[in-house]
Chain A
Amino acid sequence: MLPSDRLDFSPISERPRLALPDGARLAVWLIVNVEEWDPRQPMPRTVLTPPAGGMPMPDIPNWAWHEYGNRVGFWRMLEVLDHFGIRAVLAINGSAISRYQPIARAALERGWEFIGHGFT
């Protein structure tokens, strides 16, 4: 189905107002994304392009950059969220649940919501 078959156009100005409880004005929805990158595939993102361009495979430096997030970076974000008592939503690749189990466990222990995010 085309997106336009799924819903009719609706300008936000013509809809009845939604109200949050207790007069709240804003909901902040924090999503932490945890991904597993397959080193045999092109990397989904790159911080460093190869000398003279092209896309030589395997792409070890960009794979390693992503892995840094799971080994080190995630734990800094967790410290911030714990400090403010915020429960995030974890968008996690299915394969990352077992590959990066300490991350999935930390989210589970804190009562974060898990949402589907593809398998890899």
Chain B
Amino acid sequence: MIPRERCTYSAIVDRPPLKLPNQARIVVWTIVNLEFWSISRPMARQVLPAPTGEVLLPDVPNWSWHEYGMRVGVWRFFDLFARLGIRPTLSINARVCREYRRVARAARDAGWEFMGHAWEQMPIHKVDDQAVMIAKSLDTLARFAGTRPVGWLGPGLTETYETPDLLAAAGIRYIGDWVYDDEPTEIRTTHGPLVTLPYSVELNDIPMMLVQHHESGYFTQRCIDSFERLYREGAERAKIMAIAIHPYISGQPHRIKYLQAVYEHISRHEGVLHWNGVEILDWYLSAKTEL
């Protein structure tokens, strides 16, 4: 199914407003992404292109850069979110549970929600059998975390035309790949409706830092600018603000303080909920019946 067969266009101004409990205005949804990069393939992202720009295998410097996130950067996240009392959603390649068990265990022990994020970091288009990969990923996460994930994010948000059908068939109830609205929506699949949650490619350190090459400090500014506007709009209708981060990017020493500054700014406001994906899903399913 092409996207248009899954959903019709809807202008946000034409919809009845969704309301959050206790006059809250906005939900902040923090997503930490943990990935496994296979040394045998081209790296998912590059901080340093090879001389003359060729893709050389193995790509040790860029593999190491990602590995830095798992060895060092992610521990800055754990420390920050423990101090803030925030439990993010963990978007996790299932293979991380095997290869970086120590990291996955820390997230589990901190009570973070595990969200499916494929087996390893590569475009889903290149996976031979998506249904098998999805089942293997969810089984691995369920065994590790003790709860079967209900959420899913494609690697790089990638999907083929069949992916939402396969995810719904595997018991997935929400996805983050459809960054097309401020509110949760429902799309059609061959296995019933699937909820989309407003993940972000704007407040996301990959587009901002690796694609657009903004300076470290701009992360704070963009997040605050978005928050201020959404907070104002939140007086009229529920708003959700996703912040998506990766340990090898935002966990760097020159960036972590700019991430912290975002939460310090947000903490000076009333009516803000820090929810994970499944909490947003449960609220949406009950809020939409009250419209």
Partners in one complex: yes
Residues of A participating in the B interface, judged by any CB pair closer than 8 Å? 39-40, 47-54, 56-58, 60-61, 63-65, 67-68, 70-72, 74-76, 99-100, 102-103
Residues of B participating in the A interface, judged by any CB pair closer than 8 Å? 2-4, 9-14, 41-45, 121-123, 125-126, 154-161, 163, 177-182, 201-202, 204, 206-207, 211, 229
27 CB-based A-B contacts, threshold 8 Å:
A40-B2, A48-B206, A49-B156, A51-B122, A51-B123, A51-B158, A52-B42, A52-B43, A53-B42, A56-B126, A56-B158, A57-B125, A58-B2, A58-B3, A60-B178, A61-B154, A61-B156, A61-B179, A63-B3, A64-B157, A65-B180, A67-B9, A71-B10, A71-B12, A72-B181, A100-B9, A102-B9
Residues of A within 8 A of B160 (CB): 58
| Most chain B beta-carbon contacts within 10 A, residue among A53, A61, A68 | A61
Q: CA A89 – CA B86 in complex, angstroms?
A: 45
Are the C-beta atoms of B2 and A39 separated by less than 8 Å?
yes
CB distance from B97 to the nearest CB of A (A): 19
Q: CA A61 – CA B244 in complex, angstroms?
A: 14
Are the C-beta atoms of B161 and A58 separated by less than 8 Å?
yes
Are the C-beta atoms of B42 and A48 separated by less than 8 Å?
no
* Closest Cβ neighbor of A59 among chain B residues: B158
Are the C-beta atoms of A60 and B9 separated by less than 8 Å?
no
CB distance from B147 to the nearest CB of A (A): 27
CB distance from B216 to the nearest CB of A (A): 19
Are the C-beta atoms of A64 and B179 separated by less than 8 Å?
yes
* Closest Cβ neighbor of A54 among chain B residues: B123
* Closest Cβ neighbor of B11 among chain A residues: A102
Residues of B within 8 A of A103 (CB): 11
CB distance from A79 to the nearest CB of B (A): 9
Q: CA A47 – CA B10 in complex, angstroms?
A: 22
Residues of B within 8 A of A74 (CB): 11
Q: CA A83 – CA B3 in complex, angstroms?
A: 34
Residues of B within 8 A of A54 (CB): 123
Q: CA A40 – CA B201 in complex, angstroms?
A: 21
Q: CA A40 – CA B161 in complex, angstroms?
A: 10
Q: Is the interface of B mostly helix, strand, loop or mixed?
A: loop
CB distance from A35 to the nearest CB of B (A): 13
Q: A64-B3, A71-B181 are in contact. Are A56 and B9 (CB under 8 A)?
A: no
Are the C-beta atoms of A60 and B201 separated by less than 8 Å?
no
Are the C-beta atoms of A52 and B177 separated by less than 8 Å?
no
Q: A56-B126, A60-B159, A71-B9 are in contact. Are A47 and B211 (CB under 8 A)?
A: yes
* Closest Cβ neighbor of B163 among chain A residues: A60
Are the C-beta atoms of B201 and A65 separated by less than 8 Å?
yes
Are the C-beta atoms of A51 and B2 separated by less than 8 Å?
no
Q: CA A53 – CA B204 in complex, angstroms?
A: 18
Q: CA A65 – CA B157 in complex, angstroms?
A: 11
Are the C-beta atoms of B44 and A52 separated by less than 8 Å?
yes
Q: CA A76 – CA B126 in complex, angstroms?
A: 38
Q: CA A20 – CA B245 in complex, angstroms?
A: 51
CB distance from A15 to the nearest CB of B (A): 40
Are the C-beta atoms of A70 and B9 separated by less than 8 Å?
yes
Residues of A within 8 A of B179 (CB): 61, 64-65, 68
- A48-B206, A57-B125 given. 18 additional CB < 8 A pairs? A47-B202, A47-B211, A48-B201, A48-B207, A51-B122, A52-B42, A56-B123, A58-B160, A60-B154, A60-B159, A61-B179, A64-B3, A65-B201, A68-B179, A68-B181, A71-B181, A72-B12, A74-B11
